Amino acid sequence: MSKIAVVALGGNALLRGNEIGTIQQQEKNTYDTCINLLNLIKQGFELVITHGNGPQVGNIMLRNEAGYNTYKIPKMPLDICVADSQGGIGYMIEKQMRNILAKNKIKKNIVTIVTQVLVDKNDPAFNDPNKPVGPFYLKEEADLLAKSNNFVFKEDARKRGWRRVVPSPEPLDILNKKIIKQLVQKGNIIIACGGGGIPVYYDEEKNLIGTEAVIDKDLASSLLAKEIKADQFIILTDVPKVYLNFNKPNQTQLDVITLSEAKKYYEAGEFGAGSMGPKILAAIRFVSNGGKETIITESTQLSNPNCGTKIISD
């Protein structure tokens, strides 16, 4: 049996913080990230690639507004915007991976799966929107948009402006998990769960309904890794290792930590809720549910089998 790795690409995999997001910038960043995945293929892993979509879905939402205000093009709901971003980002990753494999004379099929993720329509998160999406606005702009669209806005903690916030419910099931598992076991590279997946729920008549929410990418990726019984769950971010007391004089890097240690640090609030916290929680969930290990690192470190911070069972 082949080894399977689920690799969650962070937002910086496609767009750096100081960039405006041209296609040239995104394709270069995608190539620079994906070329490092060759190291995993050479180590014998079959790959499932997941990814974020924060900047991209924000731009899609802006196009929504501009199209409606200028040409009265009907606005699309957030679940459709997430689906749009899955297609666009999946295409970029797939194209660059094909280029990389061809240059290295590796023959593999690559397929992007537009992935729906089940949530509970009664999840408490729907009553507490807190996931920022889209650009920053002045308070006056945010107030107008809130009034005209029934949006909820909150001020950024770093005082950079006001952003729309939406619910972020728990992922309960990956609806495409069986075909993803079948395809990756046959040696195909799969791109799935983009942006955390398209959030859907079942109504009283058992029909699938899309909802105005976004799902945390790392938590959805962790669930997918568990469901397909992946051997490794790898979270790529912009730092080579996880740190305690990050960016403080006494910061300490973590090399290998046990599940109980990870839980202790997480519960003590060692990791930021909007940064490393969800990644550690995703790692905890994967290992708690039978996964061998989670690795959190930066993509250029993948050539080293001992890279990153490893979370392992006790």
Q: Do residues 34 and 26 touch, judged by C-beta distance below 8 A?
A: no
Q: Is 217 a catalytic residue?
A: yes
| Annotated active-site residue in 36, 131, 195, 291 | 131
- Given the residues 177, 217, 241, 263, the one annotated as active site: 217
Of 166, 190, 200, give the one whose Cα is nearest residue 57.
166
Q: Is 289 a known active-site residue? A: no
What is the Cα–Cα distance from 302 to 292, expressed in whole angstroms? 18
Confirm whether 12 is a catalytic residue: yes
Q: Are 217 and 282 in contact (CB under 8 A)?
A: no
Please answer whether residues 256 and 312 qualify as being in contact, where contact means their C-beta atoms are separated by less than 8 angstroms: yes
Given the DSSP bridges, would you call strands 242-244 and 252-254 parallel, antiparallel or unpaired?
Answer: antiparallel
Joined together, the tokens standing for residue 97 give: 């991976």
Catalytic, 18? Answer no
For residues 200 and 54, give the distance between their C-alpha atoms in angstroms, rounded to a whole number. 19
Per the annotation, the verdict on 131 as an active-site residue is yes
Out of 279, 291, 308, 310, which one is annotated catalytic? 279
* Active-site residue identified among 10, 12, 52, 176: 12
Record the tokens describing residue 78, joined without a space. Answer: 């957030």
In 3D space, the residue among 27, 33, 32, 26 whose CA is nearest the CA of residue 7 turns out to be 33
Query: Would you please indicate which residues are annotated as catalytic (active-site) residues?
Result: 11-12, 131, 217, 279
